[in-house]
Amino acid sequence: MPKIDRTFPFFLLLMSKYGIKYPPLKQKRDNMAKASSLSASQNASIVRCNDCNALVALSELKKSQQAECPRCHNVLKSQDRWRLRRCAIIAISILILMPFALTYPLLSVDLLGITVDASVWGGVWKMATEGYPYTAFLVFICAVFLPVSFALLVILLYLAKLTHQKPRNLLFALGYIKPWVMFDVYLVALGVSAFKVRDYATIHIDIYLIAFVLTSLLTTLLFIKINPKELWNDFYPQNQHLIKISPENPPHFCRTCEYTFEHSAFDRKSHTICPRCHSRLDTPSYVNLQNTWATLIAGIIMLFPANIFPISYTIMNNVATGDTLMSGVITFIGMGSYFVAFVVFFASIFVPVSKVFIMIYLLLSIHFQWKHSIKWQMSLFHIVHFVGRWSMLDLFVLSLMMSLVTRGQIINFSVGPAALYFGIAVFLTMLSTTFFDTRLLWNIYDKQPSK
């Protein structure tokens, strides 16, 4: 047996055992714990990367360090996070501020001598009671229900830690709802709405806007500092990572809780499940592909009426003017608000359409085994996964406009039929990126001949 150099990256050793090729590695920052530089020592645990399926050996990290996969640079483990106690304090602060941020006026306008207030809950209620309940429900889910649920889940997790409970379902829920918390998007929608109304009325900023801004900042901070993947390790320390592996018995991996283990468990129907989170492991890869295609195609279908029909109506002197997504951008350009026009165009038109084309390209790359740059493909996927939530900007603006410009005045505002189609399209395309399995792209890369 040939002697192995102790400085040889253990990651590369594992990859060579399984016949996996790898791209050139880049030099990282000094405060990064480099997974590629670890040798096969006893204090190293072996984990599998959720993005590229690579096996990597990790040692214990120091405070503020994080370990990245040397092949795709996905973060495998991080100590740059807050303790659950501090996160719970932030969550309690968010819940205290929520009533002021959601129900009290954020903006006010003087319209023909009448003061009209705009609030998050007021916009949702006005939209729901004036004939648009389904559109109002989409706004309610992202702007009210999920932000409150996010803070509550963090508090419940801390209570579970104090009482030594195993909160499997709470961890599931936290991982599912975290990408759908959109308070930061609503904050931008406030600015867009203010620009949209300023030509019709004088705008006043209410003091409760401070509570909304603070809630948005704290929610974003909590979003960054809490890590569901690390919480699984905290609550289930008995499920240790692998220390060694053998080619005859390759390790199993659960994508739900990102746990690498040697022996899987079985449920009552003899399906293989993760011993930590009890998620099924025997789901074929084509099921994720079918889910991705189904939600993407449904989202594409919804985008056609969303761009053809008016998304809003402005009624002045009993004359209704309908605005589509594109005509609304043109209106902002005509008003001289070029930055607002760019924000609306980027969030409402460019992001949804480009997301569809990128997802189609990635799916076709898998089906036809296109051997393109894996770095380029992964960059495209991470971009659409990050910016997809900002497409909800238009629905939030519509909700605020319904609250600011009420019926019964000379100037009225109404939601158009395209709003519901657009909201459904955003939800479906976000689900499409959630179902997509990037490991299928890396499987194509691994089959390429070495250069």
**How are the residues of the chain apportioned to helix, strand and coil, as percentages rounded to the nearest 5?**
55, 15, 30
pLDDT at residue 250 above 60?
Answer: yes
Q: Please give the full DSSP string across 322-368, using - where no structure is assigned.
A: EE-HHHHHHHHHHTT-HHHHHHHHIIIIIHHHHHHHHHHHHHHHHHT
> What span, in angstroms and rounded, lies between the C-alpha atoms of 122 and 119?
5
Same domain, 301 and 369: yes
Same domain, 94 and 213: yes
Give the model's pLDDT for residue 150. 94
Beta bridge partners of 280: 273
- Determine, yes or no, domain membership for 278: no
Looking at the structure, tell me whether residues 89 and 111 fall in a common domain.
Answer: yes
Q: For residue 361, what are its two tokens?
A: 């390209």
Is the pLDDT reported for residue 415 higher than 80? yes
Residue 20, pLDDT above cutoff 60? no
The pLDDT value given to residue 152: 95
40-76: per-residue pLDDT in tens? Answer: 445 678 888 888 888 888 877 777 788 888 888 888 8
Residue 355 resides in a domain: yes
Residues 6+ apart with CB under 8 A from 150: 91, 174, 177, 178, 181, 219, 222, 223
- H or E element that contains 410: none
Q: DSSP class of residue 143? A: I
| Residue 451 covered by a domain | no
Q: Is 262 exposed, middle or buried (0-12, 13-18, 19+ CB in 10 A)?
A: middle
Q: What is the pLDDT of residue 411?
A: 60
Strand partners, 266: 272
Same domain, 55 and 107: no
Domain that holds residue 315: 84-231+283-446
| Residue 415 placed within a domain | yes
How distant, in Å, are the alpha carbons of 95, 327, 329, 332, 345 from that of 338? 36, 14, 9, 7, 10
Do 72 and 88 reside in the same domain of the chain? no
pLDDT level of residue 16 (50, 70, 90 thresholds):
very low
Average pLDDT of the segment spanning 144-149:
93
345-358 pLDDT per residue, tens: 888 888 889 999 99
Secondary structure in 3-state letters for 89-103 = HHHHHHHHHHHHHHH
Q: Are residues 394 and 442 located together in one domain of the fold?
A: yes
203: enclosing H helix or E strand: strand 202-205
Instruction: Say yes or no: 91 and 74 in one domain.
Output: no
Side-chain-side CA neighbours of residue 105 (13 Å): 14
Contact, 219 vs 226, CB < 8 A? no
| 249 plus 350 within the same structural domain | no
47, 74 contact by CB (below 8 A): no
Closest CA to 156 of 179, 176, 144, 173: 173
Is 389's pLDDT higher than 90? no
Q: Are residues 199 and 341 in the same domain?
A: yes
Residue ending a domain, among 252, 273, 294, is 273
Residue 193 domain-assigned (yes or no): yes
Does 329 map to a domain? yes
Q: Residue 39 above 60 pLDDT?
A: no
Which string of DSSP letters, residue by residue, matches 61-111? Answer: PPTT-EEE-TTT--EEEE--S--HHHHHHHHHHHHHHHHHHHHS-SEEEEE
Tokens of 45: 């645990």
Q: Which residues have a Cβ under 8 Å from the Cβ of 80 and sit 6 or more positions away? A: 64, 65, 66
Mean pLDDT computed over every residue of the chain: 81
Q: Are residues 262 and 297 in the same domain?
A: no
Any domain includes 307 = yes
Whether residue 210 sits in one domain with residue 264:
no
Same-domain status, 244 and 219: no
Does residue 35 sit within a domain?
yes
The pTM assigned to this predicted structure is: 0.82
Helix (H), strand (E) at residue 298:
helix 285-308
When divided into structural domains, the chain yields a total of 2
Phi and psi at 338, nearest 5°, equal -70, -40
Last residue in a domain, options 221, 254, 273? 273
